[in-house]
Chains A and B, each alone.
Chain A
Amino acid sequence: EAGVTQFPSHSVIEKGQTVTLRCDPISGHDNLYWYRRVMGKEIKFLLHFVKESKQDESGMPNNRFLAERTGGTYSTLKVQPAELEDSGVYFCASSQGGGLAIQYFGAGTRLSVL
């Protein structure tokens, strides 16, 4: 069974450009999370989908970030326009349920904004 996959693995863009990150969760997992790790800091929560609905988006830094999960399968995270401080590694995780369900992580997308 395939794990959580993220694309691209690495993206280099210039300040002001737009980037879209994609996450394919494990098949059948209704819960999908986005996290990010900026340089030297801990991994921090961004938002949580249950199927196609946003359950919690309290970690989204500002309105330059837009996450979608149309159809409740894969998710995209768009940053528009990108700023230097958006550089970091963006992780996606999925779980089969809420509560005590284990979250399985993808390898992340490393975003470099120049």
Chain B
Amino acid sequence: GQNIDQPTEMTATEGAIVQINCTYQTSGFNGLFWYQQHAGEAPTFLSYNVLDGLEEKGRFSSFLSRSKGYSYLLLKELQMKDSASYLCAVRDMSGSSYKLIFGSGTRLLVRP
């Protein structure tokens, strides 16, 4: 089966670092994506990993271990505007499509 797990909610302090974990079990893995979504807005692409290791993009980094079915998103120097939902999604190639399979999302609250 296909399953993606991530924590429902997290709270962190402005200026701090937070790590959002994601574990997955899918049959046709072809990359793991992280999106940010503010309420009522479009999910916005943040980062993706295809190979094992760390990808860094400014304040955001994403890590992947395919053998462990594990990824995390690291947010540094947290700002109030980082309060949002963070969606972990695996691209599944087991069918004829490049569909994304999403986790339920992690709601991050950044406090002053």
Binding site for B on A (CB under 8 A): 3-4, 31, 33, 35, 41-45, 48, 55-56, 58-59, 91, 93, 95, 98-108
Contact = CB atoms under 8 A, between A and B. Distances in A.
Contacts of A55: 96-97
Interface string B89-101: 1010001111111
Given A56-B96, A102-B48, A45 B101 contact: yes
Dominant secondary structure of chain A at its interface with chain B: loop
B18 interface: no
Interface residues of B, number: 27
Interface of B: 4, 30-31, 33, 35, 40-45, 48, 50, 87, 89, 91, 95-105
A4 B30 CA distance: 23
B86 to A, nearest CB: 13
A107 B99 contact: no
A108 B38 CA distance: 12
Given A42-B105, A43-B87, A43-B102, A104 B45 contact: yes
A46 B45 CA distance: 20
B50 A100 contact: yes
Contacts of B101: 45
